[in-house]
Chain A
């Protein structure tokens, strides 16, 4: 037990940069004033590690304590690792009235019923998010705290975000979530990324959406401000219309920092000049990936400047509309054009 605690602590100190570590320790509040002062004045990481190990002995910390510290760090800096989104479907009639205490109890009891030796920690953040840290074990071994799964859920919404979940433990987690939130099923929402705040803001619509029919002129003014007064735009109205359509599709102002969009193409090859490829019966399978530091803003700029034709193709506008960044594109056999269809992967 103590070995696990020490190795976990060592790994944590290695992962976290010194400044952030000091702030996190202060937030955690389990150090005495003198210990905190010592920590603050230690310059190197190595010395820091030794100091913390000594303090952990002094204060008698266990794995649970260090897990707490790790949780605080992850909640503060969630934008690392790969987060995947899940969506709860088919709510029962009492799904809307599940409150925090009920959810916590039910989740813990269900998970411990179906999986031996799990260690679950739950914490509610100020922004109404429930954070869950799960250390999995099995009938033979203790919970492995070195590879915990983190789950974030906002009560009364159908969205759950998970990171570091192995496929073996997937059904266990899914079942406990479904039972605790009083829904009937859970499925993959095809939205993943490193930036948790981005995918969360996209799904919960924490950005400024633009709807038609409301005061289109402010956007028009905005385009005029940025252009050179000596340059007269011949097609200014078209620009305004394009900007309006782009903002309606993606949103205005600052957009969530989604970093990649993947299209898995299963459509037939279409090129009138290339007879050999078009003659093939099977679809031409390929994967198209868009990567950017902020994909939504880049696509919006493409639409507004005319690079992408407006009205926007549903391939692009589905990203914010469906809240997904993984699409499987197939040909719809009755119709000639290819359509976007979403399938669980």
Chain B
């Protein structure tokens, strides 16, 4: 009688289970109740947290949107002040993160997110000089748009070499190096013309990579032609210095070898001043 056995065994199993449940039900109910309380408490806590974070976010948006001229509203309550500080902290943390990503360059979004505009500042010897702007189109692919970088800076080359798609920071750093060096060389030329009127500038060119100066040696009535070549455009010091003079032995003399060292190691205007001070060579 298998069927009856099956039914009977099932019924007895059910009976056993019902007995067990009746026995454990109070503690089970208690456990469930405590669990219910714990979950409710957690829900309240999470709700409060969400509320606070929303408040902080709102204050942060207000901080972001506020013009610098408007005054800050005074916070009355302690919680209000605390929330205000939390908002400021999150704002600053985000700014720092953006600063890290963009590598310290001023970035502005343009054309509804289709492009970014970067500003590169240049400086020389502690003084801020020109700023250059560059627009990059971000969609469909990263491409250089409008810019006011001078035409002799090889923008296209730098973009290809550094891999504009993969390494924007590398490209920007290389461009910054080129621009800073160019501005440095241009400043040196300007200072030479301003501070050393006795030295004649025979030749210079737009990217300031060649400089030919005519120096006269007083007392000996000789002129020396000094050629400075800046083949490495990322440096503001020359890569090659050459002296030409009718007297062929002059460039080989120890003092002119020293002068050559001066030109290779110092900016032009300072090298000229050093020459003037030490030996009163140029007139």
Q: Residues of A at under 8 Å CB distance from B?
A: 96-97, 99-100, 128, 154-159, 204-205, 209, 211-214, 321
Contact = CB atoms under 8 A, between A and B. Distances in A.
Contact of A212 (B108, B148, B204, B209): B108
B152 A96 contact: yes
B67 to A, nearest CB: 9
Contacts of A204: 150-151
B80 interface: no
Contact of B110 (A99, A154, A205, A213): A213
Contact of B206 (A156, A158, A211, A321): A156
B106 interface: yes
A331 B154 CA distance: 34
A157 B146 contact: no
A212 B108 CA distance: 7
A211 B233 CA distance: 26
Given A155-B206, A157-B151, A213-B119, 5 more contacts: A209-B148, A211-B133, A212-B135, A213-B107, A214-B108
Contacts of B205: 99-100, 128, 155-156
Contact of A213 (B109, B148, B152): B109
The A interface, classified by DSSP as helix, strand, loop or mixed, is loop
Contacts of A158: 151
A209 B109 CA distance: 17
Contacts of A96: 152, 154, 233
A153 to B, nearest CB: 11
A165 B107 CA distance: 46
B244 interface: no
A213 B117 contact: yes
B265 interface: no
Contacts of A128: 204-206
Interface residues of B, number: 25
Interface of B: 106-111, 117, 119, 133, 135, 146, 148, 150-152, 154, 203-207, 209-210, 231, 233
Given A128-B206, A211-B135, A156 B152 contact: yes
Given A157-B151, A158-B151, A212 B117 contact: yes
B238 to A, nearest CB: 14
A195 B170 CA distance: 40
A134 B215 CA distance: 35
A209 B133 contact: yes
B146 A321 contact: yes
B206 A213 contact: no
Nearest to A97: B231
Contact of B106 (A100, A154, A213): A213
Contacts of B111: 212
Most A Cβ at <10 Å: residue of B109, B119, B148, B150: B148
A296 B111 CA distance: 22
Nearest to A210: B133
Nearest to B154: A96
B81 to A, nearest CB: 31
A214 B119 contact: yes
Contacts of A213: 106-110, 117, 119
Nearest to A157: B151
Most B Cβ at <10 Å: residue of A156, A158, A205, A214: A156
A336 to B, nearest CB: 21
Nearest to A93: B157
A99 B109 CA distance: 40
23 contacts: A96-B152, A96-B154, A97-B209, A97-B231, A99-B205, A128-B204, A128-B205, A128-B206, A154-B206, A156-B151, A156-B207, A157-B151, A204-B150, A204-B151, A211-B117, A211-B119, A211-B146, A212-B108, A212-B110, A212-B111, A214-B117, A214-B119, A214-B133
Nearest to A101: B203
A211 B151 CA distance: 18
B213 to A, nearest CB: 15
State the 9 A-B residue pairs at the shortest beta-carbon distance, nearest first.
A213-B108, A156-B152, A211-B133, A157-B151, A212-B110, A128-B206, A209-B148, A213-B117, A212-B117
A209 B150 CA distance: 12
Contacts of B210: 99-100
A157 B117 contact: no
Contacts of B209: 97
B117 A205 contact: no
Nearest to A204: B151
Contacts of B135: 211-212
Contacts of B204: 128
Contact of B152 (A100, A157, A209, A214): A157
Contacts of A157: 151-152, 206
Contacts of A154: 206
A127 B209 CA distance: 15
Contacts of A156: 151-152, 205-207
Contacts of A321: 146
A211 B135 CA distance: 8
A323 to B, nearest CB: 11
Contacts of A97: 209, 231
A48 B233 CA distance: 52
Nearest to A211: B133
A111 B150 CA distance: 29
B203 A100 contact: yes
Contacts of B206: 128, 154-157
Contacts of A205: 148, 150
Contacts of B117: 211-214
